[in-house]
Amino acid sequence: QQQVKQSPQSLIVQKGGISIINCAYENTAFDYFPWYQQFPGKGPALLIAIRPDVSEKKEGRFTISFNKSAKQFSLHIMDSQPGDSATYFCAASITSYDKVIFGPGTSLSVIP
């Protein structure tokens, strides 16, 4: 019930294309959904976050879509660039002051 599922495990996208990563959860008590980006040799860094009262949030080329009834959310990276090549983790927590549960991650490679 605490698990966050994520797919695909790996993704290869051409430069300029759209990268889409999907996540799903079971625990309806989750109310904070961040996405983290991790480059090799570095710790993850907060990319964008959303709460379930909003269906979509956009920051630059990154958009989170949230479907509360389906308990699913996704990250869209528009105009993907080679510099976006990294591992992306979706995550969730029950409250703003609880531990964050991470999905297994998606390794994104953007090829020229």
Using CB under 8 A, list all residues that contact other proteins: 6, 32, 34, 36, 41-46, 49-51, 89, 93, 96-105
Q: Which CB sits closer to other proteins, 24 or 49?
A: 49
CA atoms of 105 and 9, how far apart (whole Å): 7
Residue with Cβ nearer other proteins (43 or 112): 43
Phi and psi of 84, rounded to 5°? -85, -10
Q: Smallest distance, Å, CB 51 to other proteins?
A: 7
Q: Please name which of 79, 24, 74, 69 lies closest in space to residue 50, comparing C-alpha atoms.
A: 74
Contact 34, 49 (CB under 8 A): yes
53: left (phi over 0), alpha (psi -120 to 50) or beta: alpha
Closest to other proteins by CB, 15 vs 51, is 51
Q: How far is the CB of 41 from other proteins (least distance, A)?
A: 7
Cβ 16 to other proteins shortest distance, Å: 29
Residue 41 or 112 having the CB closest to other proteins = 41
Q: How far is the CB of 105 from other proteins (least distance, A)?
A: 5
